[in-house]
Amino acid sequence: MVSLVKLCRWLGFPRRSLYYRPKLRQRIINVDLAARVKLTLERFPTYGYGRLACVLGENRKPIQRILQLKDWQVRKRPQGFRPRAKSLPSVASRPDERWATDLTHVWCGKDRRASLADH
């Protein structure tokens, strides 16, 4: 039988971690601040906790805690499929009918960048 002191010493594990029991805290909500947050959220329903904190002139942590505990958390809109411009095939019936050009920037050292056109 090996004592806990020796076992912890061998493993390099602090003994106090064996006996630690976290205490459950009662979350206290500032009622006046919660009322102000609710009024502001009704006026601006898309605001998140950062913008609400800025508008109310408060710290963002209590605002975030109120939103989470009261289930008022504003969720981000899902990023879904965005329609893109459809590219049509470039079909020419004869030569010299369709033209394309491209513009790029080239590093020129001391003079910074220069524009280079390609066609």
The pLDDT value recorded for residue 55 is 92
Residue 49 in any domain: the answer is yes
d(CA 52, CA 49): 5
Task: Determine the structural domain holding residue 38 and report its residue range.
Answer: 26-76
For residue 51, tell me if it sits in a domain.
yes
Q: Phi/psi of residue 10, each to 5°?
A: -65, -40
Cβ partners under 8 Å of residue 99, min gap 6:
119
pLDDT, tens only, 73-102: 766 666 777 777 677 777 788 888 777 778
Q: What is the pLDDT of residues 29-64, one digit of tens each?
A: 899 999 999 999 999 888 888 999 999 999 999 999
Domain count within the chain: 1
Residue 64 lies in a domain: yes
pLDDT of residue 63: 93
Through-space distance between the first and last CA atoms of the chain, rounded to whole angstroms: 84
